[in-house]
Structure 1
Amino acid sequence: MEVSFTLLILCSHLLLIIRISTAADTITITQSVKDGESIVSASESFRLGFFSPGNSKNRYLGIWYNKVSVITVVWVANREIPLHDSSGVLKITERGLVLVNHNETIIWSSNSTGSMRNVAQLLDSGNLIVKDEDNPEDYSWQSFDYPCDTFLPGMKLGWNRVIGLDRYISSWKTPDDPARGNFTCGFDPEGYPEMIVREDSVERFRAGPWNGLRFSGTPQLKPNPIYTYGFVLNEKEVYYNYQLRNNSLPSRMVINQNGILQRFTWIERIQEWGLYLTVQIDNCDRYALCGAYGSCNINNSPVCSCLKGFVPKVPKEWDMVDWSSGCVRRTPPNCSEDGFRKYSAVKLPETRKSWFDSSINLEDCKIMCMKNCSCTAYSNLDIREGRSGCFLWFNELIDIREFDENGQGIYIRMAASELEIFCNGYMSPEYAIDGLYFVKSDVFSFGGIVLEIVSGRRNRGFSHTDHHLNLLGHAWRLQKAGRSIEMIDASVRTSCNISEVLRTVHVGLLCVQQSPEERPSMSAVVFMLGGESALPERKQPGFFTERDLIEVNSSSSNHNSSSANGLTITQLEAR
């Protein structure tokens, strides 16, 4: 009997301990939180209670970091309707959470359904949830679905397509007023979903489409020691989220009163939030700064220019540094005889009017775009190793910018005449064979001109008694044999600076290398021509023999091919 009584006492104490520990982060139907009281998550990471922001005397119910010495509020319940005294009480009812004042007037509620067994719990993630004690894994409401200005680890920024829930963050009005400010950040679900920052209803920033590694307009987003991140797109959900690698190192994303997205990480040693990164990095991040078919490069002055083959729509406005009217095509496309010019390392244009398919490869993507006269550009959907998927654009290309790193490639539809700007002797292999135009296709053409100037001979029609190579092959053969001096026009050979001309021949051969990736940029060409530093080793040029050119000319004169491996300039039926 004594043993049974002792066990009963021990069990009672155990139940009391459990009740006390669970009460620390939980509110039941019979409990409440008054102003001056609070609940704390199980690991004591977050606290829920009443506070007054900045210099305000108004009272708000909110959640803030519990272990951070600087009060940092991450969520506010009654952000639009403040309490003017300390009479606020938070209760849990069968209708969910309610915040009432001294008159029992409801100031705010979660407006959720449930039962008399509803409980509210503050999780270690900072998420305040409402659930039924009998079904603890099914939340009837959670604060993570209704964020304020802070995007916390574990949150989903985006859409629940099943119930039509849009999760987005919005700035505070002022540091003293947590009411919704002018700026929001969320996902536009039209076309391929993109993360957009708006000032009221006006678009101010676009992150670019997700490409498997990052949003194409955020090159600074990369693997790091602080957090992991990812993007989910399926029939039920569209969202971006992140998780901390070390939960003991607080990190949060915030949209401030100026609409700037910033990540802060807590630095324990100095007891401050350190700025880890800013999403909008410069003026080129302003939405559509350069208008349709314009491109922004922060390293240029002015920063805006028209894409190659396009001209300012209203030149007078561009002269006044107003680029918003954008650019128009210099030559309208012909559909059946168009080609594509590749731009590398860019932020892909707005995808609101795009079409995409993750199962289509880039070659089939090109064919689909070519067959549809309304298609203005195409690109890979996923740029991870192997590259896959297809993007097609059917409208003006808006909000393009150039990057120094981590950009993406896009193929833009151009009239054939805009691509065939060089005679055959200057045409790069990738365009003549595949109908693709790269930025470094110009470099190839420049290299051909350089070799012609030095030799005083034309590449087209060049012949030599010792071989059947064209001028490019001849220059390559001479340099391999250490006889590049023979490339110099005999009429100037005795009067020129031999070392400078030989350097010029070397640079010319670097420019006409077969692979575009091997060719130097034009800025590098200028540096090499004017410098004295050692030059890179050159590789075999494209169009090594005259026979190469004959075969290409024969192929390019055939305008009835529909092969995916032939020229892009073909007679294809439009749909």
Structure 2
Amino acid sequence: MKEKPENPFSPPSFSSEKMRPLLLFCFLSLLSLLPRPGSATDALTADQSLVNNQTLLSAGQIFELGFFTPGKSGNWYLGIWYRNIPERTYVWVANRDDPIRNPSAAALRIANGTLVLLPDQRANTNPVWSANRTASENPVAQLLDSGNLVLRDPTQSGRILWQSFDYPTDTLLPGMKLGWDLTARFNRFLNSWAAPDNPGTGKFSFKLNYTGFPEVFLFDSSSIEYRSGPWNGLRFSGVPEMQPLNYISFEFVTASREVYYSFHVSSDTIYSRLSVTPDGVLRRYTWIPDIGQWKPFWYAPKDQCDSYRECGAYGICDSNASPVCKCMRGFRPRNPEAWNLRDGSGGCARETDLDCPRDKFLRMRNMKLPESAAAVVDRGLGLKECGELCAGNCSCTAYASANVSGGGSGCVVWFGGLVDMRQYPEGGQDLYVRLAASDVGNDGTMGGFIIGLSVGLCVFLLLLSGCLVWKRKRLISAFRGQKNDHKVRRLGLPERSQDFMLNDVVISSKRDYSGERNVDELELPLYDFETMAVATGNFSDDNKLGQGGFGVVYKGRLLEVEGQEVAVKRLSRNSGQGSEEFKNEVKLIAKLQHRNLVRLMGCCIEMDEKMLIYEYMENRSLDSIIFSKSKSKLLNWERRFNIICGIARGLLYLHQDSRFRIIHRDLKASNILLDGEWTPKISDFGMARIFGSDQTEANTRRVVGTYGYMSPEYAMDGLFSIKSDVFSFGVLVIEIVTGKKNRGFYNPNDELNLLGHCWKLWKEGKGLELLDAAVGNVYSACEVLRCIQVGLLCVQERAEDRPTMGSVVLMLNSETATMPQPRTPGFCVGRSPLETDSSSGKQDVTFTVNQVTCTMLDAR
């Protein structure tokens, strides 16, 4: 039979043997396109399971979801962590209270329209965790780049049915809401881990209370530990340091359907998170790739005044005061005995009964608003209408603006007692408190009587001013007659204003610190040389208060400021403090505001004359009292302890709470000034250094400071940090307790200096023998020993062993704080014979470590 020719245009025919390889290739290709758990996929479908050693990875590879076991616990959990951060940081845990024992059998899958975690996928077991939300069709689980695990309904354009952001554990991420969904009556809050290696529900929680004027509370179980204060439009009123940055912004929403707090980060390279730690501390961290570690950004509670109701009803807490609790005007301690023992929890009571409607309102500035759960808010009223509303209701005890942004708006009023208030040096907001008219005083108007009195006073002041001007001209004329040579030098001054000269001195400082202001913004008065000469009686020796390494300090009286007493520091022309040190002192002190730092009131710059004008301290410097046999009795133990605590708070401000991190570098007894109430104030910032926010230490070739107060690493290697100041503070504490200088020797046998002598007695259990006999018999033995232990901790030889000033303040003010045992102090070596060449003919000499000579050392 003749074979039919093949049609070239007909489709080809294949046998089954030829088709089999092609079908196998197509099947494998299609299979490879399906999403597989454990690969770089961000989603989980209804026909897939996620098992151990497999993870979901967000599209941008920022977050990862999978099984993990914390530490050495042996328990397994399903959680989310940062993908590209070497330090494993978990942000969410599904089964935090139901750990898995056998991870190899567990699986995450979608069953019955919801997301479930099965402890054993091979058996018919109940899930240990479930999303508890179902969809009409097969949903899809997806891990987003925000760290949010969502369950979507594909039949409704991917609508989110459930999300992990609604069920946070201990961490708040950008875009996550902390607060209430009022429609569903659903609360989102943080709960700490039970322990660092146990993600179970801990006892600390951070929750928003939406009633009244909403604010957030930190709870220890059911007990309130810390309160943020209500949101005032810019920040929480109890967090004055809360400022929006270039890359982070804060949001607070109060609406009929929801009330929540959230924050947002604009940079993809910076991560930020807010967490509640297992020990009950709120901490915000930021991760900066260039540094490669989590950097602490903010934390709370940070001091005694952050403790809830520290000063009770109508009490005001001020961390810069000692004691920290005070009663506002018109109130007295409810329990004076407890108050004197530094327990202000009983609060304050009114001294004068209210007499509505004749009561008045006292304006209190820089306040953390009182607890506001029972407050009433009307956002449609202004401050004036708010005051009228409160004045017309005799039950209203205080009022304030609900929103301080844009000049202020809204009204919030309180009824009943005012609790958990705090006053800040700056920040916070105005609070108006109802008082009896007699307690407010003459803050209101008194009609024609005040007008007449004002006119009379004006006439009197004009006459007095004329007399003072006439007298000042006579003094200046007399001075110019005696100082013709100085006048000639000044006449050669180039034609440029003194203001411009001062700008050269101050504005040449670093500009890379945000918030630094120029001289005009600082409003620092600039005085001429003649004014200072008149103020000090032509720099008379009778007005000389003291003399240091950089010049002489005189007592003066400024006629321009109603004869106010001041201290004038006149730098000697050949002193070591030149323009750089002068820049430092003006630049730093003018910007520092703290009750334990000396206040700069002005300066004088004229040719080679440089002067600083400070507030006058009635009790001079600490060294003039503490080391004087005749005057040391003025400092009883209570005053000494308050001085120690005040210096510690001032240093804490410099190291941590001021806008710049400042290292003083010359902390000593002569640089601690005492006002009329014996409040200590740190002075002399000529040698201070500014650190960046992320800088911890620096090195210098020029070692400056005072023997006996310099830390070993600074004196020997020129390495200084905040721990250098901590060492100096420790020496100062021991000097205040003992009344002795850390120079010379206090044990005739061992020839130990003060630190060595203190260390020896401490180890022998004889710490109380160190107390200055001038104190007398009235003192707290526990406080004395606590101060000695703190002092020894601060002067430990290794810088890393010394505490920070934050820890020091806590240890000084808490009788229950756990304190480590100190190690060997630095600079406590006794004298040793120095071997010399026998041919020298010289006798043996003795030395101490304090007397070592360093290259480029400028000791004062």
TM class, shorter-length:
0.7 to 0.9
Q: Tell me how far apart the structure 2 counterparts of residues 253 and 207 of structure 1 sit (CA, whole Å).
A: 14
- State how far apart, in whole Å, the 1-side matches of 2:371 and 2:387 are: 19
Contact kept in structure 2, 1:93 and 1:118, CA below 8 Å: no
- In the alignment, the residues of structure 1 paired with residue 318 and residue 595 of structure 2 have an alpha-carbon distance, to the nearest angstrom, of 16
How far has the Cα of 1:134 moved from its partner?
1.5
What residue in structure 2 maps to residue 144 of structure 1? 165
Query: What residue ranges of structure 1 are gaps of 5+ in the alignment?
Result: 3-8, 421-426, 435-458, 463-467, 487-496, 511-519, 537-575
Q: Residues of 1 paired with 2:376 and 2:397: CA distance?
A: 12
Report how far residue 469 of structure 1 moved: 4.0
Contact kept, 8 Å, 1:27 with 1:119, in 2: the verdict is yes
Matched, 1:91 2:109: yes
- One-letter identity of the residue aligned with 2:317: C
**In the alignment, is residue 418 of structure 1 matched against residue 439 of structure 2?**
yes
SS state at 1:318 partner:
helix
| AA aligned opposite 2:146 | S
Secondary structure, in 3 states, of the residue corresponding to 1:144? helix
> Does residue 78 of structure 1 match 2:57?
no
The answer to whether the Cα contact below 8 Å between 2:425 and 2:594 also exists between their aligned partners in 1 is no
> Given the superposition, is the C-alpha separation of residues 523 and 220 from structure 1 closer, same or farther in structure 2, using an over 3 Å criterion?
closer
Distance 1:461 1:521 in 2: 39
Alignment of 1:19-34 (within 5 A): 19=35, 24-34=41-51
Aligned to 1:315: 336
Aligned counterpart in structure 1 of residue 346 of structure 2, from 325, 342, 365: 325
Counterpart position of 1:439: none
User: Against the structure 1 CA distance between its residues 476 and 251, is the aligned structure 2 distance closer, same or farther, given a 3 Å change threshold?
Assistant: farther
AA at the equivalent of 2:261: Y
Please give the residue correspondences for 1:285-296 in structure 2 after superposition, counting only pairs within 5 Å. 285-296=306-317
1:500 CA drift (Å) = 7.6
Counterpart for residue 443 of structure 1: none
8 A contact 1:353–1:395 mirrored in 2: no
Question: Are residues 1:364 and 2:382 paired?
Answer: no
Residue identity over aligned pairs, in percent, reads 38
CA contact (8 A) 2:557 2:563 kept: no
Q: Does 1:431 align with 2:444?
A: yes
1:483 aligns with 2:431: no
More helix, by proportion: 2
Structure 1: how far apart are the matches of 2:218 and 2:536?
Answer: 53
Amino acid across the alignment from 1:475: L
Q: Which whole-Å deviations, capped at 9, do the CAs of 1:339-397 have from their partners, x for residues lacking one?
A: 00011001011001100111100000000000000000011111112211101000211
Q: 2:153 aligns with which of 132, 139, 147?
A: 132
Name the TM-score, length of structure 1 as normaliser.
0.76
Secondary structure, aligned partner of 1:431: coil
Which amino acid in structure 2 is aligned with residue 483 of structure 1?
Answer: V
Q: Give 1:70-469 correspondences, 5 Å limit.
A: 70-86=87-103, 87-102=105-120, 103=123, 104-420=125-441, 427=442, 431-432=444-445, 469=455
CA distance in 2, matches of 1:48, 1:141: 16
1:507 to 561, 570, 585: 561
Q: CA 1:521/1:372 → structure 2, altered by over 3 Å: closer, same or farther?
A: farther
1:100·1:106 contact (CA, 8 Å) conserved in 2?
yes
Distance 1:62 1:343, change over 3 A: same
Partner of 1:432, secondary structure, is coil
| 1:18-48 alpha-carbon deviations (Å, 9 max, x no partner) | 8569981111110010111111111111111
Find the aligned partners of 1:263 and 1:521 in 2 and give their Cα distance. 25
1:163–1:477 distance in 2 versus 1, CA, 3 Å:
farther
Q: Which runs of 5+ in 2 are unaligned?
A: 1-9, 12-24, 473-532, 538-555, 565-592, 605-610, 616-860
Indicate the residue corresponding to 2:514 in structure 1.
none
Report the Cα offset of residue 94 of structure 1: 3.0
Q: Using the alignment, how far apart are the partners of 2:470 and 2:73 within structure 1? A: 80
TM-aligned CA deviation for residue 17 of structure 1: 4.7
Q: 2:460: which partner in 1?
A: 474
Bigger Rg over Cα: 2
Higher alpha-carbon deviation: 472-481 or 157-166: 472-481
Q: Rate the CA distance shift 1:13–1:88 in 2: closer, same or farther, 3 A.
A: closer
- In the alignment, is residue 63 of structure 1 matched against residue 80 of structure 2? yes
- Alpha-carbon separation, structure 1, partners of 2:599 and 2:127: 72
Alignment check: 8 A CA contact 1:114 1:140 kept: yes
Kept after mapping to 2: 8 A contact 1:158/1:168: yes
How big is the shift at 1:88?
Answer: 1.4
Q: Which moved more, 1:15-24 or 1:152-161?
A: 15-24
Query: CA shift at 1:281, angstroms?
Result: 2.5
| SS in structure 2 at match of 1:470 | helix
Shift of 1:432: 2.3
3-state SS in 2 of match to 1:475: helix
Matched residue count: 475
CA apart distance, 1:179: 0.6
Structure 1 stretch displaced more, 158-167 or 316-325:
316-325
| C-alpha distance after superposition, 1:255-302 (max 9, x if no partner) | 101221111111324432111221323111111100000011111111
Amino acid aligned to 1:471 = L
CA distance in 1, matches of 2:595, 2:78: 60
**8 Å contact kept, 1:94–1:116:** no
Aligned CA RMSD, in angstroms, stands at 3.5
Give CA-to-partner distance per residue, 1:513-565, whole Å, 9 cap, x none: xxxxxxx9999999869x996699xxxxxxxxxxxxxxxxxxxxxxxxxxxxx
Shift of 1:460: 10
In 2, distance between residues paired with 1:122 and 1:392?
45
- Inter-partner Cα distance in structure 1 for 2:91 and 2:594: 47
Question: CA 1:509–1:117 in 2, change beyond 3 Å: closer, same or farther?
Answer: farther
Question: SS state of the match for residue 48, structure 1?
Answer: strand
Q: Counterparts of 1:142 and 1:522 in 2: how far apart (Å)?
A: 49
Deviation at 1:16, TM superposition (A): 6.4
Counterpart of 1:39 in structure 2 is 56
Aligned counterparts of 2:160 and 2:459: Cα–Cα separation in 1: 72
Range with bigger deviation, 266-275 or 339-348: 266-275
- Are the aligned partners of 2:334 and 2:346 in contact in 1 as well (CA < 8 Å)? yes
| Cα-to-partner distance string for 1:148-179 (whole Å, 9 max, x where unaligned) | 00000110000000001100001000011101
Instruction: Report the Cα distance in structure 2 between the residues aligned to 1:136 and 1:109, rounded to whole angstroms.
Output: 23
